[in-house]
Structure 1
Amino acid sequence: MAKKKIESEFRLSPTLALRPLDAEHARRELPEIADAAEEEGLSRLAAFLAGEGPLQHLLAAVFDLSPFLRDVARRRPAILDTLFDQTIEARLDAIGEAIGGAARAEDASESSLMMALRQWKTEAHFLIALADLSGEAETSATVRRLSDLADACACAAVDFLLLDANRQGKLKLPHLAEPARDSGWILLGMGKLGAHELNFSSDIDLVVFFDPEAPAVIDPLDATELFSRLTRRLVRILQDRTEHGYVFRTDLRLRPDPGSTPLAIPVEAALRYYEARGQNWERAAMIKARPVAGDLAAGAAFLKELQPYVWRKYMDYAAIADVHSIKRQIHAHKGHGEIAVKGHNVKLGRGGIREIEFFVQTQQLIAGGRFPELRGRETVPMLAALAARGWITTDARDALTRQYWFLRRVEHAVQMVADEQTHILPEEDEELKRIALMLGFAGEAEFTQAFRASLQQVERHYAALFETAPELSAGVGNLVFTGDVDDPDTLQTLHGLGFQRPSDICRVIRGWHFGRYRVTQSAEARERLTELTPALLKAFGQTRRADEALMRFDEFLAGLPAGIQLFSLLQSNPALLKLMATIMGAAPRLAAIITRRPHVFDGLLDPALLTELPDRAYLSARLAAFIEGDRAYEDVLDRLRIFASEQKFLIGVRLLAGSIDPARAGRAFSDLADLTIEAALQAVIAEFAQRHGEIAGGRVALLGMGKLGSRELTAGSDVDLILLYDHDADAEDSNGEKPLAPSHYYARMTQRLIAAVSAPTAEGVLYELDLRLRPSGNKGPVATHIDAFKKYQRQDAWTWEHMALARARAIGGDAELCAELETEVAAVLAQPRDAAKVKAEASEMRALIEKEKPPRDLWDIKLIPGGLIDLEFIAQVATITGNVEPGRRLTATADILGRLAPGFAGGDIREELGEAYRLYLALTQMIRLCLTGEFQRDDVPPGLSDLLLAVTDLPDFAVLEAHLKEMSRKVRQDFERLLGAGAPKREPGYSER
């Protein structure tokens, strides 16, 4: 009974029943430890160990499997005895508090602290290992506990050293109760410590900086020597072996240029180093950096300063190549055959922990600049975040998460045998069986099977991420571009790939390899391009106008300042290479954008690009992140231009790839214009007010007209706007340094907005602006008072101006004024009108347009009889004559056509008009996306004709033309029927071949 009671009080809750390696040997373990307990007067522990039961069997197996834990239990049985009074969790908390107190004890000395830390660390390690092996703690809890222990020990040593320096007059600490606060001494934990992922026998990697201007520093000139000396003592406190062991081996080699820099580096010098000379591996290392001891606030501030270096908006893709080379070295070391379990390095070997960490970190380096949620330090949460953003599959996330924790358990077991810093599985059968039993397997064979399967799963996901590039070049044929003479086999290969002028292609590629462009001047860039060339030629050969596509790519290369990033990117991402070939072959407009602004290509990296809809909320969030922070006026405008250029390109790519339809593309282009022009307006208002002050009660609203108002913009649309303003009735001049009268003030502000939006700069133009739809057109002032606008619209506006107003929509500015404007527009449109007169005037206008601007051919979709203008006129006339079904006010042509009143247009006509509009919209969006000039029927890029067939779901270009002709004929008939006798008859001004 007594034995049962004692056992029930022993606070360990195992979930595993371990088997010993040697049952006979295991039976002798507990009596020996019980004897040691008796000698120390620990009678309840001795009685417990002498008993029989599941806990005793577990402990016997643990001590048989781990000589390290057995020796600790023999030397210090009191550690086990504490588990009658506290759980392991509670005891570890108590140890953490004791470590913190040891540094600040009044009688603390360096030697007493060293002894205390070693004793506390040994006890903590024993308890952490016991919890892990018994299954009481998950591996995730084990790595966190080990990391917390390292943090506590480092903090204690730092606090002691700072207080000692304070006593000696070397520092003047502002907060003696919290020595590290405002001390300026920064200790960043790197690697597994930074990520809270320490293994059982891990080194701790530290990088040490200091702020010479911190409040505690007495002499900034002496600070480097002082903090380097303190750092040297810190390493000694933690690392030196004494009769009590050691605390943590400490590695300072991750600091900048460790061969020539002091142990502690001033923060400014460190920041300069990282910005000017930092390597890709150092950026990767900084992902896991965390302030672990010392001045934590200063450490956090330092890492914040470093963020632009680590998390680049535009990724340097050479980092991927760095990982490739490390991967190749690992494979060269172990070979590619069957993975041998015996002697396998769990950390660095094929399919090991390092591959999972690289898998995560490279994705973070690529994407973290754009997506802050991918900047975490811990491997497993980042796998989840990468999957949530679509960078990896849920299958990869689940498999790698499972294998990560499995491999970490294996690593811990290997280290718990003898507390050795090793990651290598034993070569001997018996020792391998020991590891298998520690992990709860039945034996060596079962473990070997599970371990090999784990490595293969990791390797498969890792290989899928990094090793696709070599496969791209397989089976292309002979490709030789050296010397000055064409290689006959190469010409044959190029012809077979789809190139009509193989000799010209050879000449272009030889130019690349001779380094004639800046992009190929470095040997490394040429080497990457050589590796990429077979895949490049294969992709361009499939575009149906391969020579032209490759020549465009050549123009693109000619304008690039450097190429290693691009070549590495295309080599590691076949889908992107295919998309690049499509753009170069079918979309000269997009090709020109890439050629002028290569950074827009970065946006294509986001794997969620084709699944995330570019709706208003998405674009708004992206824009806010892109222009965040306090920025100068010109910088804000430049960033708006960059953002708009990139997002127009990415919306276009989605349309090109078929992931959004033409109508959604129109809304996305329009939302982008709304958001960026509104942001430009706010920047202009703020900048203008600095010089000219403000008008009392002044407020501004922008009215979007034309395709912007109807949310039907294309990639090449300009923007129609009217700027309206209001102010207090008695407002006089503005209150700034250079006051202006209200009308002059808003006219000048509008001119400033026009310049901000449409003036050409190094970053291009935001939008071409057209303000001719304002009251009185070009003769009227550029800014219109709201009262003048209301009066004009109600008393003086022409029918065509009210038709234009049918598409008007407030897009930005003061919310109340926008609401007032919307109400006024609705009221003007709802005014009673003579419907017959409106229809007659609209028909006359259409006839005049046809006479003055006859269409070029069938493909002049806007101007052809029965084309877009006919549909827009029908929608606008219906709107202003009250022939739209009741509901919220619509501005989009498609929406209005879908809600034409039954008395105005029957169901068949509505359906016919809607179908025609969808066809025209699809063709117009794709043509404007791909071409900068007019659509030339006799010179359509084959890639573009394929895209037009895909977006209209028609089988052949001749069928498409016949369908377009028939559709325009029907629309013109409907136009004549709906708008009356005044409508122009069908007499096309172009050849109907």
Structure 2
Amino acid sequence: MTVFDFEGAVARARDHAPFLALLLDREPVLAGQLAAGVLDIHATSATPDMPVARQLRLDRRALALTVGIGDLAGALDLTGVTHALTDFADRALDRAIRAAIEERTPGAEPRGFVAIALGKQGSRELNYSSDIDPILLFDPRTLPHRPREEPEEAAVRIAKRVVELLQARDGDGYVLRVDLRLRPSPEVTPIALPVEGAISYYESQALTWERAAFIRSRAAAGDLALGRYFLDAIRPFVWRRGLDFGAIGEIRDLSRRIRDHYASGQGFGPGYDLKRGRGGIREAEFFAQIHQMIHGGRDPALRAPATRDALAALAAAGWIEADQAAALTRSYTLLRTIEHRVQMIDDRQTHTLPTGEALDRVARLHGLAAGEDLLALLREPVETAGRIYDALDEGRPGGLPHEAHALSAGLTDAGFADGEGAAARIAGWRAGRYPALRSPAARAALEAVLPVLMPALAGAPDSAAALLRLDRLLERLSSAINILRLLEARPGLASLLATILSHAAPLADALAVRPELIDWLIDASAFEPLGSVDELAIELRGDDAGDYQALLDHVRRLVGEKRFALGSQVVAGVSDPLDAAAGYARLAEAAIAVLAAATVAEFARSHGRVPGSELVVLAFGRAGGGALTHASDLDLVYLFTGDFAGESDGAKPLGATLYYNRLAQRITAALSVPTAAGPLYPVDTRLRPSGTQGPLVVSLDSFARYQREEAWTWEHMALARARPVFGSPSARAAAAAVIADVLGGARPDRDLAREAATMRAEMARHKPPTGPLDAKLLPGGLVDLEFTVHLAQLCHRTGFDPNLSRAIAALAEEGLLPPGLGAAHDLLTRLLVTLRLVAPDAAVPPPATQALIARALGLADWAAVLAALAATRQEVEAAWNGMTGAGDG
């Protein structure tokens, strides 16, 4: 008879797992039973007379303690742990659905509403701190609903109540975290979907990762008959009889992207990501799912939802080696067990081995002496699993065929809609159609690069357009040999070029006009962060020979190169879009400084200067906040110091107001009018006093008076991100002092919340979102976030900083904004910066571009992007409604 060490488990829990120690104190009766070796996974301190929500929270608390101690004592193996956790999740979800229906329609039969469990709940493999990922479906014909209430409305309200019952926290903790983002198109669909609509989606539109998700699916709670009907209907979508190697490639690519996204957790050691690291939990899951997707359509025996069951079935059928199945099963079991140890310490949904003393704590909780012993236990299984998964990768592709039919067929298979046309274009390159490709060395280099470039171009949203862009580039090059050899030697650079041509239309168009920009990618500095404003200004001035037109061209060329480099960094995934946004802003500020100074000097040659007076340029909006995108315009306001009645002292004297208005017009032209070297920035000056009805430039005194006495609330909100970017230190300080004085309270008292809400509603009517991914204009997007921040600043007269990140942090520290708005700002800004490059219309892009966006945002896949965007928008909307009272009542 096996003897389990419950006393030792309790002692280790008290010493090394603060969460379990807390539960032992809060559940003394249960703690005593466990110490005595009595294991009852249904034990609870809840009573039937309690509200359902409290019963469930107490049930979860008791289960967490019971399973945790049973696991540590060895009385529950991994299967026992995961089944207990999953069965509780099923029961809790079912009770929540029944309670939600009963509350709304007392006595009604709980029919017509079902939760389809996906992921680890679907396979009965939930971990210690898992959230659940159900899809909620309803049948409009049978769902109970109130009189004069549409079933769709009832379903959403039931779903919201279910989530509330499970997720709400109080002194007893919570029941389950619920993530509804695996439903179809979660950014635009309600949280509960009609069953027939869901079936239609999965039959016609679903993506490869969604197929993989349904390998682990089952009807878990609610109307199980309805759930089985849905799963039976979509079974042909999940289990296709034909081998789908394109889909398999997408799953492999997903794994590679996960490795890229979580690079810090790939290397084995302290900080290793047990779930996403090389050889980790997810690679065992993907290994099984890849083979299931290939063979499960023809062999139902392979459709096991649980990973270890799937590995065993695949080995029994001969599709994988028995030793592979055994090694992956051993690794998976051990990693899941240690994952539970990491999670039970603080009840956190984490998968990463800690470092230092915290790693020792995990090891001791597992019964080992120190962290190094835990690493020794894990190392070999992890490395073996990583090698097994790596063997799935077929490696670098070979050369492209020369025979016309074979080449055309291969390109068609790769994804070109017009494989024959693509083959004809390649044949022209091979024949030396363009001068840059006429030498044998150039054509040899081309052959080496084509296997990298063509598959990447085939995956473009518009492969024909991407190929045409490459053709134009080759046509314009004076010599291709060095570039092609470089691309051959650095496949990563070839992939980057293909990615730009395929996905980043603004960058590709710039290359078509200026093919020499590709030289900038060869320069190692292209992937380094841009320097400070002062450093950039020195570079933009060049040799400062005094030729104004030459300076304009020089600035345009250099700014174009650096903007191209910043965009390429984002597309390549080597730069955080937030860092790129700051780089774009520093570059623009340097350009303003250099061109404004040169224009002032050029203007003074004819008209002199106004004694005791000078020009000041204020940047507003994203320029003021130091976070531009590739497509941003510059919101500028021009002011001048001194007496507006003054006059310039040049050969052609002008009164101060006329002088500065003409000067500002020339600066605007220098910044915005295209020359042979290309354009710079669109300039928007409508934020000046009185807008387009007022003069282009006013005196600082007039500006101050207007802001203090006449400006509208929206102008004061805009002022919160204003800062001087040109002028002497004293003039900048004077302008900054006016801004601070007005923001600090030197302005009329107004009903700020009401005016801000009215203004935002009016803006929404006149300027709707351009697409479903418009991170700026969607409800809960950046505009709502900016309004929320500026309203908080103006109402409380604190937290002023043109930089929104710093402003949010300051306001959150004072308790005036939710702390999560900082992360919301970062995600929305990253998305905006990236979309301006790869999806300027804010429409949902094709899967290949979706992957690029996900990588730029540091997320695993497109589903995670949509989920994060939905959650972020919800958080921003809640903050905005809280500021304006829109959510009251």
1:694, CA displacement in angstroms? 1.7
1:691, CA displacement in angstroms? 1.4
CA offsets 1:151-190 (integer angstroms, 9 cap, x no match) = xxxxxxxxxxxxxxxxxxxxxxxxxxxxxxxxxxxxxxxx
| Aligned residue identity for 2:615 | V
CA contact 1:681–1:813 (8 Å) conserved in 2: no
| Aligned mates of 1:686, 1:956 — CA distance in 2 | 52
1:537, CA displacement in angstroms? 3.4
Q: For residue 860 of structure 1, give the secondary structure of its aligned residue in structure 2.
A: coil
Q: For residue 579 of structure 1, give the secondary structure of its aligned residue in structure 2.
A: helix
Identify the residue that residue 676 of structure 1 maps to in structure 2: 591
| Aligned mates of 2:639, 2:665 — CA distance in 1 | 13
Kindly tell me: are residues 730 and 540 of structure 1, through their superposed partners in 2, closer, same or farther at Cα, counting changes over 3 Å? same
Identify the residue that residue 953 of structure 1 maps to in structure 2: 858
Identify the residue that residue 871 of structure 2 maps to in structure 1: 966
Q: For residue 723 of structure 1, give the secondary structure of its aligned residue in structure 2.
A: strand
| Aligned mates of 1:495, 1:534 — CA distance in 2 | 20
Listed as ranges, the matches of 1:334-413 within 5 Å are none
2:624 to 709, 724, 728: 709
| Aligned residue identity for 1:967 | T
What is the RMSD of the two structures over their aligned residues, measured on CA atoms? 2.7
Q: For residue 899 of structure 1, give the secondary structure of its aligned residue in structure 2.
A: helix
| Aligned residue identity for 1:822 | A
2:735 to 787, 808, 821: 821
Q: For residue 736 of structure 1, give the secondary structure of its aligned residue in structure 2.
A: coil
1:835, CA displacement in angstroms? 7.6
1:602, CA displacement in angstroms? 1.8
| Aligned mates of 2:574, 2:534 — CA distance in 1 | 18
Q: For residue 936 of structure 1, give the secondary structure of its aligned residue in structure 2.
A: coil
Identify the residue that residue 645 of structure 1 maps to in structure 2: 560
| Aligned mates of 1:947, 1:936 — CA distance in 2 | 15
Identify the residue that residue 691 of structure 1 maps to in structure 2: 606
Q: For residue 656 of structure 1, give the secondary structure of its aligned residue in structure 2.
A: helix
Identity of aligned residues (%): 34
Q: For residue 619 of structure 2, give the secondary structure of its aligned residue in structure 1.
A: strand
CA offsets 1:324-351 (integer angstroms, 9 cap, x no match) = xxxxxxxxxxxxxxxxxxxxxxxxxxxx
2:721 to 773, 789, 807: 807
1:650, CA displacement in angstroms? 1.0
Kindly tell me: are residues 615 and 729 of structure 1, through their superposed partners in 2, closer, same or farther at Cα, counting changes over 3 Å? closer
Q: For residue 910 of structure 1, give the secondary structure of its aligned residue in structure 2.
A: coil
CA contact 1:858–1:965 (8 Å) conserved in 2: no
CA offsets 1:882-926 (integer angstroms, 9 cap, x no match) = 3545xxx411222222221566636xx222x22221221111111
Matched, 1:934 2:851: no
1:570 to 487, 493, 496: 487
Identify the residue that residue 260 of structure 1 maps to in structure 2: none
1:653, CA displacement in angstroms? 1.8
CA contact 1:883–1:901 (8 Å) conserved in 2: no
| Aligned mates of 2:643, 2:761 — CA distance in 1 | 45
Identify the residue that residue 882 of structure 2 maps to in structure 1: 977
2:808 to 897, 919, 937: 897
Matched, 1:851 2:765: yes
How many matched pairs?
A: 492
| Aligned residue identity for 1:587 | A
CA contact 2:616–2:724 (8 Å) conserved in 1: yes
Q: Which residues of structure 2 form unaligned runs of 5+?
A: 1-394
| Aligned mates of 1:620, 1:971 — CA distance in 2 | 37
Identify the residue that residue 915 of structure 1 maps to in structure 2: 823
CA offsets 1:464-487 (integer angstroms, 9 cap, x no match) = xxxxxxxxx99624532xxxxx62
CA offsets 1:450-497 (integer angstroms, 9 cap, x no match) = xxxxxxxxxxxxxxxxxxxxxxx99624532xxxxx623333544565
Listed as ranges, the matches of 1:539-688 within 5 Å are 539-542=453-456, 545=459, 547-548=463-464, 549-560=466-477, 562-612=479-529, 614-616=531-533, 618-624=535-541, 627-688=542-603
Identify the residue that residue 535 of structure 1 maps to in structure 2: 449
Kindly tell me: are residues 756 and 838 of structure 1, through their superposed partners in 2, closer, same or farther at Cα, counting changes over 3 Å? same
Q: For residue 929 of structure 1, give the secondary structure of its aligned residue in structure 2.
A: helix
| Aligned residue identity for 1:895 | R
| Aligned mates of 2:718, 2:609 — CA distance in 1 | 32
1:562, CA displacement in angstroms? 5.0
| Aligned mates of 1:641, 1:479 — CA distance in 2 | 43
| Aligned residue identity for 1:537 | P
User: TM-score, structure 2 length as denominator?
Assistant: 0.52
Identify the residue that residue 692 of structure 2 maps to in structure 1: 778
Matched, 1:831 2:745: yes
| Aligned mates of 1:556, 1:984 — CA distance in 2 | 58
Q: For residue 900 of structure 1, give the secondary structure of its aligned residue in structure 2.
A: helix
| Aligned mates of 1:479, 1:883 — CA distance in 2 | 69
Identify the residue that residue 705 of structure 2 maps to in structure 1: 791
| Aligned mates of 1:592, 1:608 — CA distance in 2 | 22
Larger radius of gyration: 1
| Aligned mates of 2:449, 2:617 — CA distance in 1 | 49
CA offsets 1:284-307 (integer angstroms, 9 cap, x no match) = xxxxxxxxxxxxxxxxxxxxxxxx
Identify the residue that residue 63 of structure 1 maps to in structure 2: none
CA contact 1:705–1:808 (8 Å) conserved in 2: yes
1:491 to 380, 387, 408: 408
| Aligned residue identity for 2:862 | F
Identify the residue that residue 427 of structure 2 maps to in structure 1: 510
| Aligned residue identity for 1:978 | M
Kindly tell me: are residues 738 and 498 of structure 1, through their superposed partners in 2, closer, same or farther at Cα, counting changes over 3 Å? same
Identify the residue that residue 376 of structure 2 maps to in structure 1: none
1:710, CA displacement in angstroms? 0.6
CA contact 2:774–2:832 (8 Å) conserved in 1: no
Kindly tell me: are residues 506 and 917 of structure 1, through their superposed partners in 2, closer, same or farther at Cα, counting changes over 3 Å? same
CA contact 1:497–1:542 (8 Å) conserved in 2: no
| Aligned mates of 1:518, 1:544 — CA distance in 2 | 25
Kindly tell me: are residues 519 and 543 of structure 1, through their superposed partners in 2, closer, same or farther at Cα, counting changes over 3 Å? closer
| Aligned residue identity for 1:574 | P
Kindly tell me: are residues 660 and 954 of structure 1, through their superposed partners in 2, closer, same or farther at Cα, counting changes over 3 Å? closer
CA offsets 1:232-289 (integer angstroms, 9 cap, x no match) = xxxxxxxxxxxxxxxxxxxxxxxxxxxxxxxxxxxxxxxxxxxxxxxxxxxxxxxxxx
| Aligned mates of 1:893, 1:949 — CA distance in 2 | 23
| Aligned mates of 1:825, 1:478 — CA distance in 2 | 63
1:964, CA displacement in angstroms? 1.7
| Aligned mates of 2:888, 2:576 — CA distance in 1 | 33
| Aligned mates of 2:828, 2:396 — CA distance in 1 | 43
| Aligned mates of 1:743, 1:874 — CA distance in 2 | 36
CA contact 2:707–2:742 (8 Å) conserved in 1: yes
Listed as ranges, the matches of 1:428-507 within 5 Å are 476-480=398-402, 487-495=404-412, 499-507=416-424
CA contact 2:745–2:797 (8 Å) conserved in 1: no
Kindly tell me: are residues 619 and 903 of structure 1, through their superposed partners in 2, closer, same or farther at Cα, counting changes over 3 Å? closer
CA contact 1:570–1:577 (8 Å) conserved in 2: yes
1:841, CA displacement in angstroms? 0.6
| Aligned mates of 1:539, 1:729 — CA distance in 2 | 61
Identify the residue that residue 342 of structure 1 maps to in structure 2: none
Matched, 1:741 2:655: yes
| Aligned mates of 1:849, 1:729 — CA distance in 2 | 35
1:836, CA displacement in angstroms? 7.2
| Aligned mates of 2:742, 2:517 — CA distance in 1 | 43
Kindly tell me: are residues 495 and 858 of structure 1, through their superposed partners in 2, closer, same or farther at Cα, counting changes over 3 Å? closer
Kindly tell me: are residues 961 and 544 of structure 1, through their superposed partners in 2, closer, same or farther at Cα, counting changes over 3 Å? farther
Q: For residue 516 of structure 2, give the secondary structure of its aligned residue in structure 1.
A: helix
1:550, CA displacement in angstroms? 2.6
Q: For residue 720 of structure 1, give the secondary structure of its aligned residue in structure 2.
A: strand
Matched, 1:868 2:782: yes
| Aligned residue identity for 1:915 | A
| Aligned residue identity for 1:910 | P
| Aligned mates of 1:654, 1:614 — CA distance in 2 | 15
